[in-house]
Structure 1
Amino acid sequence: MAKKKILAIGFSLPDENIGYSDFDSDISLLDWDIILFKPNINGYIYRRESMFEGKPCLSDNESFKLKAQTEHWRREIKTAVEHGKLVIVFMDELKLISIATGQKEYSGTGRNQKITRIVADYNNYRSIPIDFKLINSKGKEIKLSTKNTELISSYWNEFSGASSYKVIIEGGGIPCLVTKHGEKVVGTIARSKNSAGALVCLPDVDFYQDTFFNEEDEEDEWSSEGKQFAARFIKEIVSLDKSLRSTGELTPEPEWAKDSQYKLDQENTAYEKLLKIEEKLELIQIEKEAIVDEINDLERLRNLLFEKGKPLEYAILDALKTLGFEVSQFDNGESEFDAVFESKEGRLIGEAEGKDNKAVNIDKLRQLALNIHEDLERDEIDKPAKPVLFGNAYRLLPINERSEPFTTKCITAATTSSTALIFCPDLFEVAKYLKDKRDSRFATKCRKAILNSVGRVNFPEVPQKTKKMSEQVTDEIQI
């Protein structure tokens, strides 16, 4: 018998044969036989923008990402079960949050204008394609229900001690595990009517017990106890899959039974409705993809704050275009320039450098000087371009915690070579303003600041916006 392909989502196991995926993944579940799922959205909660009515409230961007990711898993889990897969959900705590709806309300005028961002309730179980109600409740006193014990009993005998319930389940399948007192449902089995697939909800398991890890062995973080636990766990999960499959296997429909003479009129009508819905979904998906591409392009500007290498170079090119430069990269096989940009004010050549935890040094200036000379040697170039060094120093630190981005030697050498030094977060500030508001006069000032600077470029101060960021913004739940 072929070995089962098992995938764990939201947690990992010390077994090289078990696949692993983060919650933030677009992986398809159809490539796997058994899927182990934890609806873990702690990363989103950690990145919350604010608190609203005691719940974490996500930004517009994070709200979109979470909704898209939740819809992905809901769709994938449903499809996997319909295609005969076993999906086991380990019922973690119900996490209540608020997400943006994309709608805003405005009241008042001018500086007294109040912006109300409309938000809605959301939780980590939206990714599960079951209509159930969950209530947070914690405990370890659990017993088998009066029905379906033959399917779950072997697993429960082995792992009841490592399990604990964190939610009470109302609806969502046939009960298989209940609390010892009160018989509240904490585990269910929902079987597909069209395949041998099943969606099983089980009490949470502590997969990260202290004894499962080696504190001193850096090469192997998992202890022998952790590996043994994982081996026993996988054995029981495979056994559970076998039990469910043996009692729910369906006979594949023969080709002759698919003939139109056997189809119901209502079936044909339903297929026609489905086709129309699919056409609408296709158009919506195309529209969604276009908006996602637009968002990705806009997000790229933020790479000026923390990136290095090619991602930083592309962000610099985008920013320079926003400032009104015509930009390109040059590579003729012999010479390669990170950025060539020009406007009516002049022509410039730039080099980009990102540093993880130190200032930008003199090294890149040598390369930049060489680029200027190689560029001037080209027949079509009459005079040397203005050299510009773009530096993203201490790139992983918050902006206000970074030290001087260029070393003293770098600043001295830049003065000698008439090189402009641009701190990438400074470029981000002016490009962000120009992205949000067309201001040709300000853009001209920024271009001139680069062309006329020797040493670090001091861009003109960003004009005060009519609507200040400090204005009051209120989050409300949409009713």
Structure 2
Amino acid sequence: MEKKIVGLNTYFKSLEYENFDEYEFSARISLLDYDAVVINAEYLITCYSTSYDSSYQNKPCLSDYNSAQIVEDFKKIEGQIKELLKQGRNVFVLMGNNDNCYIYTGEKQYSGTGRNARQTNIVREFNAYSFLPIKLNVTEVVGERIDICCSSPYRDFFTNTRTCYYYASYFSVAENSTILGKIKGTDKVVAAVIPYGSGKIVLLPQIYEEEEYKTEDVWKENGKKYLDSLFELNRRLKITDEEMDLPGWAQNIYILDEKVKLKKQNTIENKIAKLEKELDKERIAVQEVQKYKLLLTSSGTTLEEIVKQVLDELGFTILEAEKGRSDIIAKYGEVAIVAEIKGVTKSAAEKHAAQLEKWVAQYIEENEVSPKGMLIVNGFCDMPLNERLEDVFPQQMLKYCVSRGHVLLTSTQLLCLYIEVCKNPICKEERITELLSCVGKYERYREIKDYLK
């Protein structure tokens, strides 16, 4: 029969996973009945903080009752963890956003007399990880890019669960620790294993909660995969400890072709590390290129930001626009530009042009200069390009726009312009001059196949 694991403050209960029990951190449950313990440290302190508690130095300050309760619970958990580790069992901690708090010590100070008498309750900072028998210096940050720098069985665990976790903190580790993962490109540790007694404290990145998955089925698939991998990791750690725990002197004896295999292993590991660095650089380079596709897919603030970036890279000077006013105010040389950016699931409408004209009139009133009005629209933005068969700028809005000197272009055309200028920089001035002098629909780049393969 497979050994049982217990989770404290975890979120796997809905999975009804065999041989996995789950309780609140404060539950009166004996951890010593289990082969291993998983503790989710995410927001652990908030389990003891109520609306009746106050704050001190921007951290929760627990009430008298909650202060006594948290000290009692943490001491109880720490004692059981020490015993588990002494017996060679393992403790897994999901490192999360778990900032320290302040608690009442029970001490009071008095000052003044009579009506001026004052009572001051003495508080102290309470370490949010003091349920562990080790000292941790933890910094809460959130991200996803983790460099796994360990061998099996830990590497297998991280590989099998790569869709299940992110980091919510980094921390300092003791000299006897083995680092399992770092924030990519840094020395910030987000996963490590620390030997203690005859067992191990395994500090792991935080896991995604059920509501962060698209569907319940996806959550169940990933949750089960995570627990399968955790049980397997615990099993392999026990085998490693019980069957492969060679003393130091044995490590200095080489048998058969062990030395050759070790050298080959080190060579391969170095190659993998180098390739992973190169792959990471290429991933970033690909992402830098792919972000321009947001001109084809996005709307709202995302579309506005990528349009601003493209115009900036084309040589436009982006000026600060007051919040709630025009989407973009810019200059190209001596030409002032006011732009309205829209991502819509249908075609553009006259109301979009009317909004643009409002910003143009406002600019004239404030600056006594007539800007070029530019309406940039990502029409039918939720459809593939080959299915966007209707005109983004319908005929009924053209008369209004032409009479006011607006230029109308799609964000797809803007992307094509950007691509052409990147490939052939010498044409930039000609293309932008053509764009800024256009009135009505911008006609270039109607055929996009030469730019979007």
TM-score (norm: length of structure 2) = 0.50
TM-score (norm: length of structure 1) = 0.47
